[in-house]
Amino acid sequence: MSYGSRKKSLLIGINYTGSENELRGCHQDVANVAEFLSYRGYSDDPRSQVILRDDMEGQYYPSGHNILAAIDWLVSEPGTTNFFHYSGHGGQVQDPTGNHPSGLLDTICPVDFRERGQIDSDILHQHLVSALPPSSTLFVILDCCHSGSALELPFVYRSDDDGNISLMDNLKAGVRLMGEANDLFRGGFSFDKMAEAKDLYAGATNFFRGFKHMGEEEGLAEGDYGAYEREHKMVTMFSGCRDDQTSADANIGGMSEGAMSWAFLETMKKMANPTYLQALQDTRYNLRQSNYTQVPQLSIGIEINLEQPLAL
């Protein structure tokens, strides 16, 4: 598979200025990432780079409508190398379709999310991953809460405190948890067992989301979850935290910025051409050294060798 050389980028930073949800570092994140991309061969020409911030107006104001329109622009061309960065609030909403066992979907929060709603993981996957031409690539940084499953990518990697990388096998982990819940009831029902089973089922639902997204029938068979894998899109995402963690604002050199964005950019400053493995390990190290407890996560649309150089 060969990929094109034209590079496009979409950078979104939302401080929710003047609201009770106000953040401080998201505009700075955009500035930092834009500077980084300029060194990596990305143009800041309006044909190649779009920036949305809530101190801008018109089509560059990060409303839900404008965010989706900009995402559609980003992945609209075959043979392109694409970069998407989002810094702002992330959340969870009730699943409007009723198709997700957990009843919840991870989201990003446009500036008008209170009036117009949030953008959930099903919509993000549809617009960013499913719509990406097979000849294009996409690199994503999400610096927000509840970002671990925001794109519903099939291969998920995390680093422990010692730098060891583990593959979170979504299917097998989910099946195991569901099996443990079912095993509880062998030998008789009890309310204590019911409570424990609910906890296990809740844990399993993180691994079984969006089965109908690709037109598959709902179920727990490997073929259903494999729909994401069968898309075979070269999408890479570094996310700021696991679904159960809070992504932090950092104060670096007197300026507020997202901890995840800062940690990733620090890694790229130290290593001009890191492998996927090194980038994940060093981003985790930077966060720990600065006393941030969040765990960065690498999610990929296809199975790759993590020892190969990070493709931007």
Catalytic hit among 26, 144, 145, 241: 145
Known catalytic residue at 241? no
pLDDT for 294 beyond 50: yes
Question: To which H or E segment does residue 108 belong?
Answer: strand 104-108
The separation between CA 265 and the C-alpha centre of its own chain, rounded to angstroms, equals: 17
**Greater model confidence, 205 or 299:** 299
The b/e string for 78-98 (b: 16+ C-beta within 10 A; e otherwise) is eebbbbbbbbbbbbbbebeee
pLDDT for 287 beyond 70: yes
pLDDT for 148 beyond 50: yes
**Greater model confidence, 232 or 45:** 45
C-alpha span between 296 and 13 (Å, rounded): 19
- Span(s) in the chain for CATH 3.40.50.12660: 6-169+210-300
- Tell me: the pLDDT tens digits for 158-199? 877 777 777 764 444 554 555 555 565 565 555 555 555 555
The b/e string for 5-16 (b: 16+ C-beta within 10 A; e otherwise) is eebbbbbbbbbb
Lowest mean pLDDT among 5-14, 136-145, 182-191: 182-191
pLDDT for 206 beyond 70: no
Distances (CA, A) of 89 to 112, 250, 288: 12, 14, 22
C-alpha span between 277 and 267 (Å, rounded): 12
**Helix (H/G/I), strand (E/B), else coil: 58:** helix
**Greater model confidence, 1 or 130:** 130
Known catalytic residue at 89? yes
Of 28, 14, 241, the residue nearest 114 (C-alpha): 14
Catalytic hit among 27, 85, 89, 213: 89
pLDDT of 73 = 98
Name the fold adopted by 6-169+210-300. Answer: Rossmann fold (3.40.50)
Who contacts 130 (Cβ-Cβ below 8 Å, separation ≥6)? 213, 214, 231, 233
